[in-house]
Amino acid sequence: MTERMWAPWRMQYVTGGVKKSGGCFFCEAFKDAGNEREHLLLKRGELAFIMMNRFPYNVGHLMIAPARHIGNFEEVRPDEAAEMWQLVAAAKMAMQKTMRPDGFNIGINQGKCAGAGVLDHLHIHLVPRWNGDTNFMPVFGECRVMSQWLEDNYDQLKTGF
């Protein structure tokens, strides 16, 4: 139970069955300009971008990734790190405006045992938290419902940027 406090994104994300359509969905999202909503890509920078997690642990779960397909923390260049940091801040502020969380978890999972669901494309998780939200995520029985809900959440967050 305490594990959830420092790596709340772990469970859904690892077991969520991220679609493996051959390519990397981070790279696909970044390159597919014009289809941001479909990819749940909220903000495109030059070297990094913000997108929603399709298998969120909590409402509003966002990910900030470098445009470059790199898997390790130490591979991030200073200019990429700077932009990722700015995007984390922008995402946090957008969320504060639109969803008014009481707190946040911000973190990176490196390695499967650490909870990483996608190993080869690094990403920073930004998970909003609300007081007493330990039971927050409703169980979604149907993908369609989930998808609708994600798009609504996308539109809501988009207004914060």
Give catalytic residues, as residue numbers.
123
CB of 138 to Zn ion, least distance (A): 30
CB of 26 to Zn ion, least distance (A): 4
Q: Are 39 and 51 in contact (CB under 8 A)?
A: yes
Identified binder of Zn ion from the candidate list 14, 18, 24, 90, rule CB under 5 A: 24
Of 11, 30, 5, 6, the C-alpha closest to 116 is 11
x/- mask, Zn ion, residues 26-45, rule CB under 5 A, reads xx------------------
Q: What is the DSSP letter of 127?
A: E
The SS3 call for residue 148 is helix
67 part of the interface to Zn ion, by CB under 5 A? no
121 part of the interface to Zn ion, by CB under 5 A? yes
Number of Cα atoms under 13 Å in the Cβ half of residue 2: 0
Residue 50, beta-bridge partner list = 43, 64
The size of the interface with Zn ion (CB under 5 A), counted in residues, is: 5
Return the amino acid letter for 51.
M
69 part of the interface to Zn ion, by CB under 5 A? yes
Catalog residues that contact Zn ion under the rule CB under 5 A: 24, 26-27, 69, 121
